[in-house]
A and B are shown apart, each in its own frame.
Chain A
Amino acid sequence: MSKSPNLFIPVAGGIALVLGVAYGVTSRGYGSDEIATLETRVQQAATQASSAAEKAAAEAARALELEQVVAEIQAAAATRVAGGSFVEPVPDRDDRYGLGRPAMEQEIAAWDVDVLPDGRGLPVGSGDVWTGEEVFVDQCAACHGDFAEGVDNWPVLAGGFDTLANEDPVKTVGSYWPYLSTVWDYVHRSMPFGAAGTLTADETYAITAYILYSNYLVEDDFVLSNETFADVEMPNADGFIIDDRPEAEYAEWSGEPCMENCKDEVEITMRSVFLVETPPEGGSESVMNPATIEGLPSFTAAGPSFVTEAAVQAEEEAAAPAVQEVAAVDDGAALIEAGEKVFRKCSACHDIGDGAKNKVGPHLTGIMGRTMGAVDGFKYSNGFVDANAEGKVWTAESMAAFLEKPKDFMKGTRMAFAGLRKEEDVTAINAYLASFGD
């Protein structure tokens, strides 16, 4: 198993050669001249034999060496087979399989649009800051804000200078991005969100110029082009180092680790900030964890300092602040604020407030106290048309009933929403809806 028979063939061949020469000399009759010649030849043969023997020895040594190498490889393979990870790789070959077809120039031009840090890949074109502002407001501001300051969780593109060493660094094009090419490349290739690849080269130059301007990196008369591209200096260009974990961490964090008495005492220093509920329908809901580290045991090698009576106490602690929370939201403003949060579940389809328009669902401004199915210009399902004819009105009660199980309350409603499961959510949203009068 561990030896390859092929390796011994050269050794056996060498020995056969030596024996063959000796046999040839002793089996024939010759004259003195011939004997002298034969002596010479014997000497030669002896020399040859000795050299052959040396060769054989060398070959044997080489064979042994190779045998060791084979054994090592086989042992390694055996380990890997035992570990279940041995894979016979696909054969390497120098020639091609002849698959695929040549890419055409137009095809490469269409797809190979990336831009390298040195500007290679930039098309000819240009754009100024003011044109950039117009395009930005039109194409980018919905997420990134008019001044590239970022809306909601969407990326902030401007500002954040000197914050990288702070507790919460603000990583923007100005404060963080090391290469201008990245901005141009990303905007051109991957933006705007939902309409990627639609910006022209000139629009991209203009937007990039505006982002630079938002970061005070260029003046308002700046024109960015494939010519001026190299003139822009990025403030954080030198802010990056290549992965130094091998030197900075790996050696220090290697070796046999401590197994016992590794610390004298261990205390819980922090509990989970959020508790995460996982409702059966998917997703998750996180709520702040009201529990504190009070009343938790510390640990030593002897075990925990005491055994908690556990959950009963923890649940009481958890329940107490929650009650306070409910009590707190009972006063109007807080309840409306809570309702505003719940309304996020509705806002994809419903607009509310001054100038609200009908979307997938009717606008909800002034809905409380109004007759059902009464918003102008909205095409209601039959159930709501009938309710309207009957003069049914939206009250806190009817809204609560509807929101609990929409399809039960109003047969045939096209509202896809499954309903609010929590009573406090319903109360909150009623307060929120009622806060928008006519």
Chain B
Amino acid sequence: MDDMFKPSRRAFLRGSAAAAAGTVAGAAAAADGPDPLITELQDWASYTGVGVDETPYGMPISYESHVVRRNVEWLTASPISSINFTPIHALDGTITPQGCAFERHHSGAIELSKQDYRLMINGLVDEPLVFTYEDLERFPRENHVYFCECAANTGMEWAGAQLNGVQFTHGMIHNMEYTGVPLRTILNEAGLGAAGDLSDKWVFVEGADASSNGRSIPMEKALDDVLVAFKANGEALRMEHGYPVRLVVPGWEGNMWVKWLRRIEVTDMAVEGREETSKYTDVLEDGTARKWTWVMDAKSVITSPSPQSPVGHGPGPLVISGLAWSGHGQITRVDVSKDGGITWETARLGKQGDTKALTRFYLDTEWDGSDMLLQSRAIDETGYVQPTKEQLREKRGENSVYHNNCIQTWYVNAQGIAENVEVS
């Protein structure tokens, strides 16, 4: 217990010394005289505020209205078959609020009610079954926090620094606490006797929307940690995330997290649908392509400072913060470099991350006001170290589109302005 207090006592002492020396940057003590925000009676301190009936379901205060999902129009042919990006530059902690968590639809987000919802399980099962939404709520359920990352996250950056904003380079990710029934419970309910030897069997999952997005999942994963989820962050899934029911496939690419899940089919081979052959396969330099690249490897990025979140103060204390994650398990360490990878310091993990969930890291540092090349590097429980862009290109070329987990560099100049760059 004593240890807990030591850092804060030290920090307090250091803080008082600094205050005495008059060097605390950004202190709100105006040289021109007392602060009218303090000395004058403010409206909000005098008039009454908004009543409890005003907002039955609250939105963020208007001052935060810029913290929204954004798209990049020219990336796709139509916003109906497109993607937008989580404003990770403006978030902290690890949980992504549903309202600003990225969306990716192949045929638009649909409105499917719980009453109209049906889930079918068929194929190599003892008895094909149909469940209603209410049926799903009667199975024992679990809660887990997992990240969901689109395989194309950072995909635009393969051939060079492209988009100036971490929202756009790394925002195809969100992290929520899901409530759902293990897929194995549903599979057991239909009975896997008919499937015989499970080692070479697959589970094909399919959505109810017009794209009927379908993916094949090997049985081993299906019986492991996959969830049939209906709540996220404590409330119903949002329409854009698959209300009322989506699949959660921890650590694996977002396209497999089928939304509006309507059918589960046990098969003896992969279906090799459009989203697992023509898309979500990774072309290597020689033109051959990797398929079944499901796992999202360890990755991290500094969210602040970043182009959309410049340093707004002069030299002095600076919090460098970011996110790290791995589809192979827990993040055990994150290193940060301020000089483009010459020297590294180990960052502080805000909280030991859950397995296959976002981990927040902080480097609490003193900025001397000089230019910086900021980078972060994640290490996961398998000992895997996030690679540089050069390492990735050496193995895969520049045409893979998907699974770009390279180390990102932000150039921060003396004025605190940050830009997406590549370095030698």
Contact = CB atoms under 8 A, between A and B. Distances in A.
Given A83-B352, A85-B353, A190-B107, 6 more contacts: A185-B274, A189-B212, A257-B377, A271-B161, A271-B421, A301-B343
A169 interface: yes
A108 B371 contact: no
B414 A286 contact: no
A164 B145 CA distance: 38
A192 B411 CA distance: 45
A261 interface: yes
A329 B246 CA distance: 50
A341 to B, nearest CB: 11
B182 A179 contact: no
Contacts of B379: 257
8 contacts: A83-B352, A101-B129, A107-B120, A111-B122, A239-B288, A249-B387, A257-B379, A304-B372
B277 A257 contact: no
B142 A89 contact: yes
Contacts of B294: 243
Nearest to A143: B77
Contacts of B372: 304
B114 interface: no
A241 interface: yes
Contact of A97 (B139, B211, B265, B286): B139
Interface in A230-274: 239-245, 248-250, 253-255, 257-274
A1 interface: no
Nearest to A297: B371
A409 interface: no
Contacts, number: 335
Nearest to A313: B413
Given A111-B262, A186-B274, A301 B339 contact: yes
Interface string A78-94: 00001111010111111
B272 A117 contact: yes
A108 B122 contact: yes
Interface string B343-387: 110000001111101000000000001111100010100111111
Interface of A: 82-85, 87, 89-94, 96-97, 99-103, 107-108, 111-112, 114-118, 143, 152-154, 164-165, 167-169, 171, 173, 176-179, 181-182, 185-186, 189-190, 193-194, 196-197, 239-245, 248-250, 253-255, 257-276, 278, 280, 282-284, 286, 289, 291, 296-297, 299-301, 303-304, 307-311, 314
Interface stretch (B39-47, B64-72, B317-325): B64-72
Contacts of B273: 114, 182, 185-186
B233 interface: no
Interface in B203-246: 204, 206, 210-214
Contacts of B354: 83-85
B210 A240 contact: no
B12 interface: no
Contact of A250 (B138, B278, B340, B384): B384
A86 B265 CA distance: 31
Interface stretch (B13-21, B27-35, B52-60, B163-171): B163-171
Given A83-B354, A100-B135, A114-B273, A241 B163 contact: no
A284 B70 contact: yes
B130 A154 contact: no
A296 B371 CA distance: 9
Give 6 closest A-B pairs by Cβ, nearest first: A164-B287, A165-B287, A266-B340, A153-B77, A90-B140, A103-B128
Interface stretch (B3-11, B147-155, B185-193): B185-193
Contact of A307 (B121, B161, B265, B369): B369
Contacts of B398: 167
Contact of B413 (A93, A100, A310): A310
Nearest to A263: B342
A264 B129 CA distance: 64
B307 interface: yes
B351 A257 contact: no
A197 B163 CA distance: 37
A189 B285 CA distance: 32
A310 B417 contact: yes
Nearest to B89: A278
B353 A254 contact: no
A273 B161 CA distance: 6
B75 to A, nearest CB: 8
Given A90-B141, A241-B288, A278-B165, A169 B395 contact: no
Nearest to B72: A284
A239 to B, nearest CB: 6
A309 B77 CA distance: 41
Contact of B73 (A90, A99, A118, A283): A283
Contacts of A193: 80-81, 107, 210
Contacts of A165: 285-287
Contacts of A283: 70-71, 73
B144 interface: yes
A171 B127 CA distance: 40
Contacts of A296: 371, 411
B420 interface: yes
Interface in B311-349: 330, 335, 339-344
Nearest to A98: B189
B297 interface: yes
Q: Which of B145, B181, B272, B377 has the most A CB atoms < 10 Å from its CB?
A: B272
B86 interface: no
B140 A153 contact: no
B283 interface: yes
B342 A299 contact: yes
A173 B267 CA distance: 25
Given A273-B160, A310-B415, A243 B293 contact: yes
Given A97-B138, A182-B273, A263-B341, A90 B185 contact: yes
A329 B161 CA distance: 28
Nearest to B403: A245
Given A83-B354, A189-B212, A196-B212, A103 B122 contact: yes
Contacts of A242: 290-292
Given A102-B127, A239-B288, A262-B344, A87 B143 contact: yes
Contacts of A297: 371
Contact of B164 (A94, A263, A289): A289
